[in-house]
Each structure stands twice: as structure tokens, then as C-alpha cells.
Structure 1
């Protein structure tokens, strides 16, 4: 049975400061480092064939710490910007409270929670899905169809886009979906590639 584990990176320094991060390359916070190690502890008993991650340090570091914890840091790892976080454009680096003061809370909520509205100079969740899903279909899914066990360490919005596809969620459902940092989410597939089970570890 093929298995896919999705792992949102541990808390970053800007998650801690409540800033829009997007493609800015910020490190994990001390708590995020611990979350990544704890995720590794939850992955004991899994033998991964390969792993995929974004090109951003917070996801790379989470993956490294989790694999180190289970002694599997030698597996093939592919990094690709297709798995990067949603790009927040002019909002990147701004504190979410300051952003609400500048643009109004209603507008910020639309940017954060609508499916296809872009913040200034940034991506919508739809844009993010349009790079994540082809990458999944062309690069990750073929390994699952061979029955492999795969780990993907990525970001809140790139994983939301992927979960939308895996669970066949509507746009409304995916907007309500919150993925906790450092919590491994397991999907199991039958031989046709259909999801038969999913749960947090």
C-alpha cells in the first residue's frame, strides 16, 4: 500500500511574529525546531523511499530534522519551488495586525481566505494550486502508483492545495482548512492511486 505523509514546516520566526512570510526565506523558531524533531518521533516505524520539499529553508530544515530523528537522512530528496508557500507579494514581511490597519480587516480576510483573489503582487490559493498540482501529478504520484512511501515537507498553502485534490474538497471547504505546524498527516492509497484512509499521526 502506497503511503504519503504531508508535513507542514515547524513554526518559523515570522509565524511567531505573526507576519506574512510567503517566499521570504526565514528560519524556524526554537519552537519550530522542536516541532520538527517531534514530527520525526511520530514517523518512527515508517521507512521512506524518498522525500520532496520546497526550496525554502523552513521546510528544508523541518525535513532534515524529522529524517535525522528516524535515521533516514540518506534517502533521495527533491527540492522544487513548485512546493513553495503561496507568494504574498506586497504583504510579505508585514505584521498581520498592521496589514489590517493599512488595508482594512475585511480586505485582508478576502486576500487570506478567498480562493482566487490575489494580494497586491502576490498569488491566490488558485495560483498556488496551479503549480502544486501539476508537480504532484507528474513527479510525486508516479512513485505512489509504484507503492512507495513518500514524505513531503512543505507549507500551509501549498499543502492546502494538495489536500484539496486528495480529499476532493470544494473551494469553500479548503478555505476553512487549517494545517497545524509540525503535525504529520498520513494518506494511504490503494493500487489504483485512490485515497483509502487519512489521519494525523
Structure 2
């Protein structure tokens, strides 16, 4: 059996607002010079040490924001032209950052003060994972679109595994979006049937006919903090237990790949 499929999540490199801690949703900032160097060093290390085998990368999915797409370019730059030609890069609007609405560009303490001035959070403190953002997205709305993206990626993994293709799919996005995505990958969250027009809609958030659209009859969203950290430029790995696409799991070893003989000894153990 080939290697278990993986989803390698990459948060974009440093921007001026990730450095300052300002909430950056739709604001389209580039990487800082440090952020560019940061991702160049990461790319050099991760391929040179074989944490990621370039020949195993089948797809790259990226948020449409400049900071994410710039990170993709830097991370793929060390690969040969032949290696890059075999990787399909898909820009997917479902992977954009949480839309912060009134909180765009603010710091956490400023958001708390703003909400307090509006008479909110008198009984409990603000929790974005539960309460969402004023004039921005609710947790149900971001959960819905990330559930769509997740379903497409897991469907591709299922196809690749059936075909015997080694498949690392890389996802380039943002701090809140990727922590949310990772939580939905392997935790039940709150499961909701698609009932409203918005939930039943099938928006075409990407343009690539090789990626089948997976229509959802239900989706997942969070109602509390998953307590994950992912700094700018950070990398995480999601995979599956027992080589089974129906058992999504967090790969605690991260991008490190154990020798095949180490992986195989627990491949069939529940």
C-alpha cells in the first residue's frame, strides 16, 4: 500500500498586520520582506530534508488573497519545472480568511472594547468561534464554506488512494481559516442539515474541471475555540488513521514522514 494521503496546511508568511496582530480578512496585503525570506527558508528546508516529497504533491489549493498566493509561489520555487508542471494549483474562494466585518484591521482588545461600547458580551466574553463578527461572517457561514472545501479535498484523496497515487494536497490560507479547517477535519463540531437557500446553494468558488464539486446535504461548524495555534508561515499536517479516508486524523508528527516500516506496524491496528 502506498503512503497515506495527507493535507498539508500552510499559513501565509508574515504581513504587516500579522506582525501587529490586526485582524486581516478581505484586506489584501502582501508579505513583508521578512515574510518573503521566511517562506524561502521554509521551502528550502522542507524539501531538502524530505519532509515533503515534491513528487507526491498532486494539488495546491489556495485562498485568492495576495499573501496566500505569494506564499504558494515561494514554496514551489525550489521545485524543478517538471515537478511544478505536475502540480495543479487551484485558487478557491472558499479558503479565504474569516470575513471580520466591523473588526477588520482591529486588535483583539479593540474588538472587545468596541463590543462593550455596543452593549454586547455582558454575560460572557466574546468568542469568535461561537459569536462570529458583526457585519462579517457568522461561525455557521465560515463553517459551511470550509466544509465544502474539505469535502472536495477528501474526495480527491479518496480517488487518488483508489488509483494507487501518492497524494499530498497542500492548502495555503490564513490563521483563523486554517485552524477552523483543521478542527473540522477530524472533530464532529456541530453538524447541521443544509436547509436554507444559502446552505443549499452550490457556488462555484474555483475554476478547475479536474476537481469534482461535492454537493453537501449537511455541514459542520464550530461553537468554541479549537485551541490550535498556527503562526504566520506555519505548517500543519492532516491525514487519516489506518490508511482509511473515513478516519480523518491530525498528524501530530507534522510534516515529518516516518520510514514505511514504522508506519506499517500500526497500519491495521484500531
Confirm or deny a common fold (TM above 0.5). yes
Q: Tell me, yes or no, if structure 1 residue 86 matches structure 2 residue 86.
A: no
Partner of 2:131, secondary structure, is: coil
Of structures 1 and 2, the larger Rg is shown by: 2
Per chain length, whose mean CA-contact separation is higher, i.e. which structure has more relative contact order (CA < 8 Å, sep 6+)?
Answer: 1
Call closer, same or farther: CA 1:178–1:126 in 2, change over 3 Å: farther
* Per-residue deviation, 1:136: 1.6
Of 158, 181, 186, the match for 2:177 = 158
The match for 2:12 is: 9
Consecutive unaligned residues in structure 2, runs of 5 or more: 162-166, 190-221, 256-270
Name the one with the larger helix percent. 1
Of 239, 244, 250, the match for 1:192 = 244
Preserved contact between residue 54 and residue 60 of structure 1 (Cα < 8 Å): yes
Extract structure 1 runs of 4+ deviating beyond 3 A. Answer: 70-74, 95-107, 169-175
Preserved contact between residue 164 and residue 174 of structure 1 (Cα < 8 Å): no
The match for 2:143 is: 129
Partner of 2:14, secondary structure, is: coil
Consecutive unaligned residues in structure 1, runs of 5 or more: none
The match for 2:67 is: 58
Preserved contact between residue 11 and residue 231 of structure 2 (Cα < 8 Å): yes
> Structure 2: how far apart are the matches of 1:60 and 1:41?
18
Taking structure 1 as the reference length, the TM-score comes to 0.84
Of 85, 89, 103, the match for 1:77 = 89
* Per-residue deviation, 1:66: 0.7
Q: Tell me, yes or no, if structure 1 residue 181 matches structure 2 residue 259.
A: no
> Structure 2: how far apart are the matches of 1:62 and 1:120?
29
The match for 2:258 is: none
* Per-residue deviation, 1:39: 2.8
Taking structure 2 as the reference length, the TM-score comes to 0.65
The alignment yields a C-alpha RMSD, in angstroms, of 2.6
Deviation string, structure 1 residues 126-179 (Cα, Å, up to 9, x no partner) = 321211111220x21122111321111111122122211223175577442221
